[in-house]
Structure 1
Amino acid sequence: MAWQAATILALIALWQWAALTYPAVYLPPIERIAQGYFQIWHGDLLHSALLPSLRRLGAGFAIAILVGCVMGVVLGSLRSLDPWVRPTIEYLRYIPAVAILPASLIVFGATDQMRIFVIAFGSVFPVLIAATDGARRVDPILLDVARAVGLSTAERLVRVVLPASLPSIFSGMRVALSIALVMMVISELIAADDGLGFYILRNQRLFQTANVYAGVLTIGTVGLGLTLALLAVEKRVLSWHRGWRGLTETGRG
């Protein structure tokens, strides 16, 4: 931890030295960047830049998780559906989410719905693929026991397959989160009037370079904070998985 802090401080000191030694519009001093950074987290910019982005990111990411989990668990469990659905999924997943922005703009207009759709489309596939693979790796013994006690197909999916797939699903969610952040920013660069992407673009056009860097650092902070929160949720939700894995490995030994 000390080495990490020392590295960050060294980079900050190097930047500040370069900014003071070689003044340039693209190399603002640290104090100006810090001022712009803290302004984003309170006052008017909080409501015009940060909160709109978080709202869109949360909605799009939640939709991606819901759709990805439901479809992935169903497809991974009911393999008879695979020949009918898999080709379409494989085709769509290779379409860059950025490429659907123009079509989304035509369909939804320059609205929050368009940006939420783009975020959800870009981030759903890691969750979907992870959920599908997780459902296919469920221990057959668990499924046999579920059938033996009389659980219906729907009950097996919810009570057996979904919990057993959660380790894979959380791995997919971590990948999806980074994609959702990228699509959030990109969607706000087009015909937007608020959000972090719009804030960065506006300040770039005004040559307010310190505010551009402040916006970028804010996105990094949001990404780091959400990743740590996701890891905390994963650790809590999957505490049973670590215990089960340890018990299984002990039994095998």
Structure 2
Amino acid sequence: MTSKRSNIAPLAWQVSTLLAVLVAWQWAAVTNPTTHLPPLQLIFTRYLDLLWGDLLWSAVAPSILRLLIGFSIAVLFGAVLGIVIGSLRWFEPFLRPVIEYLRFIPAVAVLPAALLVFGATDTMRIFVIAFGSVFPVLLAAIDGARRAEELLTDVARICGLSTAERLFRVTLPAASPLIFAGIRIALSIALVMMVISELIAADNGLGYYILRSQRLFQTANVYAGVLMIGTIGLVLTLFLLTFEKRVLAWHRGWRGLSNTKSA
């Protein structure tokens, strides 16, 4: 009974804080109307237009499509290359300096060069999203592959497993927890780069919608666009956590068993 109360108390404080902020916002918007602080019902109406109206296809859908393509490229490329580099330890010293150098280049700084090479196209935006979000996955995959227990790899080698079989049966499972941690970090970066890439020479997407609304002093639209970005990030994070929970069910069970034995 005490544990239930201790779990409910933080949630009650969080809900109360959120309600207090919303009430204060609405009170300020009604008592002192300004273009910078629109009422909540207007923001919610604009948000519903993005969620269900025509703006879903002109503002939200293009952003989600570019985000998913760029993020998928980053995850696939980063995981595969990272596992290969981490498994071939003699090969890592040749590529690690290049990777360390490139990862310190902000993806925003690459945007003008990408604009010159690809033009104001979806290809440019997908490239920027992929470039910005690939390094967390790549570095996590390298470290995960290097941490694969040498005993397991030696046993797999003695059992006559081929290199590909060792990669898929030993190295990849061992690296998966770190890879998923890198993927979660990469998702937030991909969202940021999605918005930034749509602020330059764009004619659709949430970034373009927010910038255009700001220039037209449509403040409610700006807030609605920001809320939609948060919604996309939340939905994708929940999906990713659910997928991770299923894929790494063996890891959670093994970790729990190890903790039980150690206790």
TM class by shorter chain equals: over 0.9
Please say which of residues 5-14 and 232-241 is displaced more in the overlay.
Answer: 5-14
What is the match of residue 124 of structure 2?
A: 114
Once residues 122 and 75 of structure 1 are traced to their aligned partners in structure 2, the CA distance between those partners, rounded to angstroms, is 20
Structure 1 residues 180-202: Cα deviation after superposition (integer angstroms, max 9, x where no partner):
00000000001111100000011
Once residues 183 and 130 of structure 1 are traced to their aligned partners in structure 2, the CA distance between those partners, rounded to angstroms, is 20
Equivalent residue runs for 1:51-200 within 5 Å: 51-200=61-210
Please say which of residues 7-16 and 95-104 is displaced more in the overlay.
Answer: 7-16
RMSD: 1.1
Identical amino acids, percent of aligned pairs: 68
Counterpart of 2:236, as a letter, is L
**TM-score between the two structures when normalised by the length of structure 1:** 0.97
Shift of 1:150: 0.9
Please say which of residues 148-157 and 97-106 is displaced more in the overlay.
Answer: 148-157
Shift of 1:158: 1.8
In structure 2, the gaps of 5 or more residues are 1-10
Structure 1 residues 131-171: Cα deviation after superposition (integer angstroms, max 9, x where no partner):
11111111112111211111111221122101111100010
In structure 1, the gaps of 5 or more residues are none
Shift of 1:43: 2.5
The alignment status of 1:12 with 2:22, answered yes or no, reads yes
SS of structure 2 residue aligned to 1:147: helix
1:231 to 222, 241, 245: 241
Counterpart of 2:44, as a letter, is A
Q: How many residues align?
A: 253
Once residues 61 and 139 of structure 2 are traced to their aligned partners in structure 1, the CA distance between those partners, rounded to angstroms, is 30
2:217 to 179, 185, 207: 207
Once residues 239 and 17 of structure 2 are traced to their aligned partners in structure 1, the CA distance between those partners, rounded to angstroms, is 24
SS of structure 2 residue aligned to 1:104: helix
Please say which of residues 151-160 and 67-76 is displaced more in the overlay.
Answer: 151-160
Counterpart of 1:16, as a letter, is Q
